[in-house]
Amino acid sequence: MSASPDEVRARFDRLKAREPILQVRGLCKTVPAKDGERTILNDVNFTTHRREFLCVVGPSGCGKSTLIRTIAGLEEASGGEILVAGQPVHGPGPDRAMVFQGYTLFPWLTVLGNVMFGLRMADKPKEEAAREARQWLDLVGLEPYADAYPHTLSGGMKQRVAIARALAIQPRILLMDEPFSALDARTRARMQAYLVDIWRKIDVTIVFITHDLDEAVLLADRILVLKTGPGEVVDLMEVPALRPAAGRTLDDPALRATLERLEGFIHAHETVVDDEPVTPVVRLASVAEEVD
C-alpha cells in the first residue's frame, strides 16, 4: 500500500531537519585529455542528512564512481568543496568508509582478521579489536565464520564481511560503489534486505551507487540522478515511501511512478560519450519478489 502524501511529506521534513552529514558544493572534476582537458563532473551540489540512504544513478560514464571516490578522498576535486559533518575533505579519513563492487578482502587474513584490520590500524589493542570485530560480524550474521578465510565464502558473504569491515571503524558515511552488482539476482535481493536491516540499527549515512533503478527505488530515501557529458545533477528525487526496502514493492503505484520517472530521466539524458555508445541501464528483480 502506498504511504499517504502527507505521511511522506512529514517524513522528508523530518529527514531534512536532521544534521547535514555530507555537503557537496560546486564540485568539479577535470582530467587531462588529448585536446586540453575533459570535464567529468560539473558544478555538482547536494546535501545528505544524518542516517539518510542516498542512491546515485545515471548512465554509464556520467561520473558516479568519480563522485564517490572524490567524496572518499581517493581523488582530488578540481573545484568546489566537500564537507563531512562540517569539515572539509582533503583526503581519506575514518569518517568515511568504502565498499567496492569487487571483492576486496585481504585473502591472507581470516574473516575476523579482515574486520579487525581497521581497528588495529587505529591502534586498538588486539583483544578489544577482536571483541568489537566479532560484534560487527554478528551484525552481518557471520560471527560463526570468524575463523574462515575469504576464499571459502560465497560472493554475498564476502560483501557482508566487507560491510562489517567498513562499519567497524564507525564511519559517519558508508560509501558503496555498486556493491552488489557482481552478485546473482537472488543473492543481491537478500543483500539489499541485509543492508537495510544493518543501516536501521546503526547511525550511518549511506551513499550507494547503482546501475539498477529498481534497486535505487527499493533502497533509497532520495535518489541523486546524474547525466553524462559532463556529469551534472539533473534531480534529487524523494522516494515516496515511509522507509527503505522492508515492505517496499514495485507493485506500489507511487514507487512504480517514481521508477518510470527515473527511467524517463535516464533515457532522456543517455548520450554518446567520446563517440562510444553508452551501456543501457540494467534492471533486476525487486526485493519483495526475491527475499525469503
Ligand X SMILES: Nc1ncnc2c1ncn2[C@@H]1O[C@H](COP(=O)(O)OP(=O)(O)OP(=O)(O)O)[C@@H](O)[C@H]1O
Binding site for ligand X (CB under 6 A): 31, 40, 58, 60-66, 211, 273
Q: C-alpha angle 241/244/234, rounded to 5°?
A: 75
Cα 244 from Cα 188, distance rounded (Å): 15
Q: Which of 167, 25, 169 is nearest to 86 (CA)?
A: 25
C-beta closer to ligand X: residue 168 or 226: 226
- Least separation in angstroms between CB 272 and ligand X: 11
- Least separation in angstroms between CB 72 and ligand X: 12
C-beta closer to ligand X: residue 44 or 239: 44
How many CA within 13 A on the CB side of residue 34?
A: 1
C-beta closer to ligand X: residue 66 or 110: 66
C-beta closer to ligand X: residue 63 or 179: 63
Cα 134 from Cα 172, distance rounded (Å): 20
For residue 52, what is its C-alpha cell?
539518510
C-beta closer to ligand X: residue 61 or 244: 61
C-beta closer to ligand X: residue 148 or 273: 273
- Least separation in angstroms between CB 151 and ligand X: 26
Ranges of H-type helices in the chain? 5-17, 64-72, 111-121, 126-139, 155-168, 185-201, 213-219, 253-269, 287-290
Q: Which is it for the CA torsion 71, 72, 78, 81, positive or negative?
A: positive
C-beta closer to ligand X: residue 71 or 133: 71
Is 136 in contact with 164 (CB distance < 8 Å)?
yes
- Least separation in angstroms between CB 265 and ligand X: 14
End-to-end CA distance of the chain: 20
Cα 247 from Cα 80, distance rounded (Å): 39
- Least separation in angstroms between CB 277 and ligand X: 12
DSSP letter at 276 equals B
- Least separation in angstroms between CB 67 and ligand X: 7
238 φ, ψ (degrees, to nearest 5): -85, 130
